[in-house]
Structure 1
Amino acid sequence: MTAATLLITAGDNPERIRNERAFAMLCGAAPISASSGRTDRHRLNRGGNRQANNALHTIAMSRWNTDARTQEYVQRRTAQGLGRRDILRCLKRYLAPEMFAHIHAALRQRPLPVSAAAPPDPIPLLAGA
């Protein structure tokens, strides 16, 4: 479900997805400075596609609970003094380029038809099933 949400987001906004940073901005996972005079902080972009941000959140929480590398990262960042929300922000920020790479690779493997007026014939596709 999360992959479908990210694919729909990419398909609905092809002109906005030029690179990984643009995809992160579209998903609301790009860091924005929220610093004051004494602190140097960042927050996630509140704009962008909320469904895509929810998909990234779901992936981040799943990895937080099951992936050993992510759990080590969480422990390291906790030891550095970051809170749960800041760690989740960092995870989302690092997930966005990874998901962009997967989407980009999927689109390169299966290019869209050249002409929308003549869609491919579905019969040969069903014959192999």
Structure 2
Amino acid sequence: MSNLVLVRTCARLGGCDGDGGEGGDGVVEATRTTLCLLAQRIEQLTGQTRELQQRLARLVERHFPQLLVPVGIGPDSAVTLLITMGDNTERLGSEASFAALCGVSPIEHSSGQHHYRRLNRGGDRRANAALYRIVQTRLRYDRRTQDYYERRIKEGKSRREIIRCLKRYAAREVFNLVRPGLAGPPS
């Protein structure tokens, strides 16, 4: 059974109402009651999670609808990035500062003969993960991103380097979509 079917089946087990059933084995009855109560709680929490996700999606649609237009940016990623921006509006003077805040700004790295740029390991890890999800979605569904990926592979770049660049582009795009909406009277 899938998890959903399993939870529904357990939630419908007898014994949740505490009537004691047909007087069978105490361990079986206790197990049945526990499974039933836990499954009902899982269903309740799942419903609450779904409701909260819908509320967050409506908030993003109301305040920053332009953020949901580009490919790959869903309500969950948008909310995560907006929280990161909202907590640090005074530090966001440019898209480069937002990229650093998300941990997607390049850092110069050198071995002496070769010069590289590596990904910044600092910053808000949740925002970084949201940008990663955006990039992965675009790699799967966006033709322009797929063409960019193929072109960079032919140039000899590694997948890690390409994803770093794409995360930086995604951060730039999000910043430019949201920044005008954040400009308001200073608090």
TM category, shorter: 0.7 to 0.9
Secondary structure of the 2:168 match is helix
More contact order relative to length (CA 8 Å, sep ≥ 6): 1
Matched with 1:16 is 91
Structure 1 stretch displaced more, 35-44 or 24-33: 35-44
CA distance in 1, matches of 2:149, 2:85: 29
The structure 2 residue matched to 1:26, chosen from 85, 101, 110, is: 101
Relative to the length of structure 1, the TM-score reads 0.81
Identity %: 51
Which residue identity lines up with residue 71 of structure 1 in the other structure?
Answer: Q
Query: Which residue of structure 2 lines up, in the alignment, with residue 51 of structure 1?
Result: 126
1:111-122 superposed matches below 5 A: none
The reply to whether residue 41 of structure 1 matches residue 41 of structure 2 is no
Worse-matched range after superposition: 95-104 or 22-31: 95-104
Pairs aligned (count) = 112
| Unmatched segments (≥5 aa) in structure 2 | 1-75
1:21-43: CA deviation from partner (whole Å, max 9, x where unpaired): 10000000100011111111111
- In structure 1, the residue matched to 2:78 is 3
Residue 67 (structure 1) aligns with: 142
Secondary structure in 2 matching 1:43 = strand
Q: Provide Cα deviations, 1:45-64, integer angstroms capped at 9, x if missing partner.
A: 11110000001001011101
Task: Report runs of 4+ in structure 1 exceeding 6 Å deviation.
Answer: none
Which structure 1 segments of 5+ residues have no match?
Answer: 116-129
Instruction: Look up the SS of the partner of 1:33 in the other structure.
Output: strand
Q: Which residue of 1 aligns with 2:158?
A: 83
2 CA distance for matches of 1:26 and 1:89?
15
In the other structure, the counterpart of 2:180 is 105
Cα deviation, residue 67, structure 1: 0.4
1:106 Cα deviation (Å)? 3.5
Q: What is the RMSD of the two structures over their aligned residues, measured on CA atoms?
A: 1.7
TM-score, structure 2 as length reference: 0.57
Within 2, Cα distance between the matches of 1:103 and 1:43? 26
Deviation at 1:96, TM superposition (A): 1.1
Larger helix fraction of residues: 2
Please give the alpha-carbon distance, in whole angstroms, between the structure 2 residues aligned to 1:78 and 1:8.
34
